[in-house]
């Protein structure tokens, strides 16, 4: 009882660290989520790879013809765009349900809420790992030659994970208190998919429409995709994402400090 009391009244940093330092728990829970989702399935999580591969294979030649772009140039652009957008979308969508889907744990005893944010993020990382392998045959077919710029993919991925954790806390808290926000976020992500260069090339935009590239999801996509296509993302995108990371981390931290103890009462 005294342990539960001390946990509920510890400072926000200690509460955050208590959940973050237990990857053995949240990684195991994330893996079980994947296993249960594909229980009694013959191929299991490989269906993630196959379904994404079929979609990319069907859309590539069609959209290349529609946009009048050489297939060898457009196909890796589309493949990476679809893979990364699927990652973005699942992170944001799952963030809205982070605490609601973990209510049976939170109602039974003390658990630091960051544990379930990491669980959601780990589950999406596992799914992403099953899908990013599709990049290898696409890159070999398109003859992409990587340079040292490809190493910039890793700091970009780190920034994505930091943002994903902050967004997980932010949306998890807001959507637990206000359930209608989940529907707003879902609709917003559907709209942003068409305002982000997933299916189209940024250079095809007219000058007056380039403001859509200020979209942080478009900037994050450029940081991740460009190094894997043998290029280097612009400094503008790095600065934009760094500013966005600081902003989301600060807002998520403030909400976490103020409302972390109320989550169980909102469930």
Q: What is the DSSP letter of 10?
A: S
Calculate mean pLDDT across residues 216-226.
92
Residue with tokens 């600060």: 250
Q: Is the pLDDT of residue 104 over 80?
A: yes
Average pLDDT over the chain, rounded to whole?
86
Q: Give the pLDDT band of residue 95 (cuts 50, 70, 90).
A: very high
- The string of pLDDT tens digits covering residues 15-32 is 888 888 888 999 999 988
Which is more confident, 108 or 136?
136
Terminal Cα-to-Cα distance of the chain (whole angstroms): 22
Element (H, E) at 130: helix 114-132
Cα–chain center distance at 84: 8
User: What is the C-alpha separation between 27 and 222, in angstroms, rounded?
Assistant: 28
Give the C-alpha distances (Å, rounded to integers) separating 247 from 163, 176, 184.
10, 21, 21
Cα–chain center distance at 75: 22
Calculate mean pLDDT across residues 80-93.
93
Are 234 and 213 spatial neighbours (Cβ–Cβ below 8 Å)?
Answer: no
């Amino acid at each position: 009882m005294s342990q539960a009391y001390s946990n509920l009244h510890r400072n926000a940093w200690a509460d955050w660290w208590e959940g973050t330092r237990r990857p053995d728990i949240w990684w195991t829970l994330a893996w079980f989520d994947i296993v249960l989702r594909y229980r009694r399935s013959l191929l299991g999580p490989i269906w993630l790879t196959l379904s994404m591969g079929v979609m990319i294979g069907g859309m590539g030649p069609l959209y290349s013809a529609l946009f009048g772009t050489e297939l060898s140039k457009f196909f890796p652009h589309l493949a990476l765009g679809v893979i990364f957008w699927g990652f973005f979308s699942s992170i944001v969508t799952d963030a809205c349900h982070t605490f609601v889907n973990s209510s049976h744990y939170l109602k039974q005893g003390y658990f630091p809420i960051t544990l379930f944010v990491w669980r959601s993020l780990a589950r999406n990382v596992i799914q992403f790992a099953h899908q990013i392998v599709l990049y290898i045959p696409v890159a070999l077919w398109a003859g992409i030659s990587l340079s040292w710029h490809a190493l910039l993919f890793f700091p970009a991925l780190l920034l994505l994970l930091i943002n994903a954790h902050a967004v997980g806390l932010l949306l998890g808290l807001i959507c637990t208190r206000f359930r209608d926000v989940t529907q707003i976020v879902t609709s917003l992500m559907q709209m942003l998919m068409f305002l982000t260069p997933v299916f189209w090339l940024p250079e095809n935009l007219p000058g007056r429409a380039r403001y859509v590239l200020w979209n942080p999801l478009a900037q994050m996509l450029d940081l991740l995709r460009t190094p894997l296509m043998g290029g280097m993302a612009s400094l503008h995108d790095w600065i934009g994402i760094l500013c966005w990371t600081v902003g989301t981390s600060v807002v998520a931290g403030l909400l976490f400090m103020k409302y972390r103890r109320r989550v169980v009462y909102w469930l």
